[in-house]
Amino acid sequence: MLHVKNLTFSYNKIPVLKDISFKAHTGEHIAIIGESGSGKSTLLKVLYGEYDLDKGHIFWKDEAILGPKYNLVIGYDFMKYVAQEFDLMPYITVEENIGKFLSRFYPEEKEQRTAELLKVVELTKFAKTKVKTLSGGQKQRVALARALAKQPEIILLDEPFSHIDNFKKQSLRRSVFKYLKNKNITCIVATHDKEDVLGFADKMIVLNDNKIAVNDAPETLYKNPKTPLIASFFGEFNIINKKIVYAHQLQVVEHSKLKATVKQSYFKGHYYLIEAELNAETLFFEHYQNLEKETVIYLSIEKNNL
Ligand code: ADP
Ligand code: MG
């Protein structure tokens, strides 16, 4: 279990992380979310032991994770960290980059393990390619495979799929997260992408104002988003009578008290996102078809339509 107790950290004088406490059980998948600059990357670096804490403690099982003041070499064998800016060895192949961390005394095992990891990150075809010729997304996948090479007990991933195009993202995400669950590897993922969270994370920690705003199951937070910040993570929403209402919870009806005027329709695939005006305020709802500008419509809130 990872145990973070009252962690406070500042680069200069002003704390970037204030009084952070949470736990991650073995095999659990925790997502750290928050706006850009909220301290997600800093938190992962601190967990990795890259910096000394101002206050607090971090434990993995019974072992304290300590910063550079106490450790000559940063990092621990049981923990791997894939930074937002991954550093690979450009002049050797993908296969060699991954194998670098595996024992050369067992060539057969090394080969098998490398092949397995290449499959997880969907790079089998690129095994013999020199890293310097890869795209950003491909390099990111090599960095992931390399972190997994010597099976860690816990892995820290910073925006792990940010450089990967949408064509590959979904399947890669499933492949990597499935692998981590199967191997019972604890994983802490910093992200601003809800696709990295929904369907995968057991818990979702929202960072805001240097603190943990909430820490709960994504489903719980989705169904009852306590703040606009949390709601905005899940999608378009409105505040109607002081309540958060997702765009898909609004339905066009024949008549209601919510009378709005259509301003714009956006094609979104299986629905249109409609921008409308209600009492001089902008409102969003989803609709099965395009609506003409200036059409007057009535809306009702479907409370159960979460
Ligand atoms: P996120 O990953 O959520 O975008 P970061 O952890 O990168 O946020 O940054 C959190 C805050 O810490 C930001 O205000 C950023 O400017 C600051 N920061 C990040 N790295 C450093 C650093 N090495 N030195 C000083 N300030 C930093
Ligand atoms: Mg970051």
**What secondary structure does DSSP assign to the chain, as a single string?**
-EEEEEEEEESSSSEEEEEEEEEE-TT-EEEEE-STTSSHHHHHHHHHTSS--SEEEEEETTEEP--TTT-SS---TTEEEE-SS----TTSBHHHHHHTTS-TT-HHHHHHHHHHHHHHTT-GGGTTSBGGGS-HHHHHHHHHHHHHHS--SEEEEESTTTTS-HHHHHHHHHHHHHHHHHTT-EEEEEES-GGGTTTT-SEEEEEETTEEEEEE-HHHHHHS--SHHHHHHHS-EEEETTEEEEGGGEEEESS-SEEEEEEEEEE-SSSEEEEEEETTEEEEEEESS---TT-EEEEEE-TT--
- pLDDT at 85 exceeding the cut of 80: no
Q: pLDDT-derived band of residue 304, with 50, 70 and 90 as boundaries?
A: low
**What per-residue confidence (pLDDT) applies to 167?**
85
258 pocket-lining for ligand 1 (C-beta < 6 Å): no
**Cβ proximity of 128 and 93 under 8 Å:** yes
Q: Taking residues 223-241, what's their average pLDDT?
A: 94
Fold assignment, 2-223: Rossmann fold (3.40.50)
Sheet containing 250-253: which strands, arranged edge to edge? 250-253, 296-301, 258-267, 272-278, 281-287
**What per-residue confidence (pLDDT) applies to 302?**
86
Question: 15: CA distance to ligand 1 center in Å?
Answer: 10
**What per-residue confidence (pLDDT) applies to 72?**
82
**What per-residue confidence (pLDDT) applies to 305?**
59
Tens digit of each residue's pLDDT (9 = 90 or more) over 20-75: 999 999 999 999 999 999 999 999 999 999 999 999 999 999 999 999 999 888 88
Q: pLDDT-derived band of residue 269, with 50, 70 and 90 as boundaries?
A: very high
Question: Which CATH class name applies to 236-305?
Answer: mainly beta
Of all atoms in ligand 1, which is nearest to the CA of residue 34? 3
How many other C-beta atoms lie within 10 A of the C-beta of residue 175?
A: 16
Tens digit of each residue's pLDDT (9 = 90 or more) over 3-32: 999 999 999 989 999 999 999 999 999 999
Question: 207: CA distance to ligand 1 center in Å?
Answer: 13
37 pocket-lining for ligand 1 (C-beta < 6 Å): yes
Residue of 13, 40, 42 to test ligand 1 pocket, by largest number of atoms within 8 Å of CB: 42
Question: 161: CA distance to ligand 1 center in Å?
Answer: 20
Tens digit of each residue's pLDDT (9 = 90 or more) over 159-187: 999 999 888 899 999 999 999 999 999 99
Six-digit token string for 142:
């090599």
160 pocket-lining for ligand 1 (C-beta < 6 Å): no
Residue of 16, 18, 45, 52 to test ligand 1 pocket, by largest number of atoms within 8 Å of CB: 16
**What per-residue confidence (pLDDT) applies to 152?**
96
**What per-residue confidence (pLDDT) applies to 105?**
82
Residues of the chain with CATH 3.40.50.300: 2-223
**What per-residue confidence (pLDDT) applies to 303?**
73
Question: 40: CA distance to ligand 1 center in Å?
Answer: 8
34 pocket-lining for ligand 1 (C-beta < 6 Å): yes
**What per-residue confidence (pLDDT) applies to 306?**
61
114 pocket-lining for ligand 1 (C-beta < 6 Å): no
Residues near ion ligand 2 (CB < 5 Å) are 40-41
Average pLDDT of the chain to the nearest whole number: 94
Residues of the chain with CATH 2.40.50.140: 236-305
> Whose C-alpha lies nearest to ligand 1, atom 7?
41
- pLDDT at 106 exceeding the cut of 90: no
